[in-house]
Amino acid sequence: MIINKSRTKIKPLQDEDIPLFAQWLNKEYIYKWLCPDGEEQKEAWLDEVNNKSGKYDFLKHFIVYHNDKKIGYCLYADCFYLKDLEEEGHDFEDLYGDVTEKNQTYEIGYLIGEEEYLSKGIGKLIIQLLEEEIIGLGGHEIAADPSEENVISIKALLSNGFKKKGDGDYRKRITIKITEQ
Ligand SMILES: CC(C)(COP(=O)(O)OP(=O)(O)OC[C@H]1O[C@@H](n2cnc3c(N)ncnc32)[C@H](O)[C@@H]1OP(=O)(O)O)[C@@H](O)C(=O)NCCC(=O)NCCS
């Protein structure tokens, strides 16, 4: 299978995608990183994606497509709002206490739900696609909080120019080059 960037797209997650997302979360190689605290954490993810109350409007969820096939999920969230989110096993205030303004730093998250698409460079592409979205919003920094044991995710971040700020805290400053036409 040949993967190229133009065949890989992200589109906003729709309600009809939630069962597929739940199925992906249940896969062992995903669950161990996204739900290390167990079922309550899985329920929290589903609650956030469902966003029935509108409380999680600042979380922007996407489905990753390759040639129109749904193969993964990703999100970004403005850390200004994220730092007030209380979640099992996560201290966002500790991580993003330095974020004092809206539209400054965005956290990203991602997964590939279909195993045959793993280790083909798509993880790195997803990070680039999220970066393009965040540039479009005028954000200045991207953040990710992988577990230090999640070597593949950390490699994908480092390959995309992220730098380690601390354990489980990786950041990338957005620098936009303006070229003369
Ligand atoms: C993290 C994830 C999205 C990475 O996507 P991917 O498409 O499999 O990874 P890529 O092919 O883009 O490779 C990323 C880096 O990891 C390396 N890598 C990929 N598969 C690997 C493997 N099985 N073993 C070791 N390194 C591997 C690649 O060489 C690349 O590093 P490099 O740029 O230094 O060469 C994917 O593994 C996944 O969905 N994992 C489960 C969910 C998860 O952990 N999400 C992140 C939470 S923070």
pLDDT (tens digit, 9 = 90+) per residue, 99-128?
999 999 999 999 999 999 999 999 999 999
Q: With a cut of 70, list the residues of the chain below it in pLDDT.
A: 88-89, 177-178, 181
Residues with CB under 6 A from ligand 1: 29-30, 33, 110-112, 118-124, 146, 150, 152-153, 155-156, 159
What was the pLDDT predicted at 89? Answer: 62
Residue of the nearest CA to atom 33 in ligand 1?
Answer: 159
Residue in 10, 152, 153, 157 to alter for ligand 1 test, most ligand atoms within 8 A of Cβ: 152
Alpha carbon of 124 to those of 33, 99, 111: distances in Å? 17, 25, 11
- Annotate 76-93 with DSSP letters as a single string: EEEHHHHTT-EETTEEHH
Q: How many angstroms is it from 153 CA to the middle of ligand 1?
A: 5
What was the pLDDT predicted at 62? Answer: 98
Ligand 1: which atom is nearest the Cα of residue 152?
A: 16
3-class SS of residue 111? strand
Radius of gyration of the chain (CA): 16
**Dist CA 117 CA 140 (whole Å):** 30
What was the pLDDT predicted at 181? Answer: 63
Ligand 1: which atom is nearest the Cα of residue 118?
A: 8
Residue of the nearest CA to atom 16 in ligand 1?
Answer: 152
Ligand 1: which atom is nearest the Cα of residue 112?
A: 39
Residue extents of the structural domains in the chain? 8-88+103-173
Strands 141-144 and 169-173 come out as antiparallel
> CATH for 8-88+103-173, among 3.40.50.300, 1.10.645.10, 3.40.630.30, 3.40.50.1820?
3.40.630.30
Q: What are residue 131's phi and psi, to 5 degrees? A: -60, -40
Half-sphere exposure of 95 (CA within 13 A, CB side): 28
Instruction: State pLDDT tens for residues 65-78.
Output: 999 999 999 999 99
Vertex 114: Cα angle to 11 and 2 (nearest 5): 80
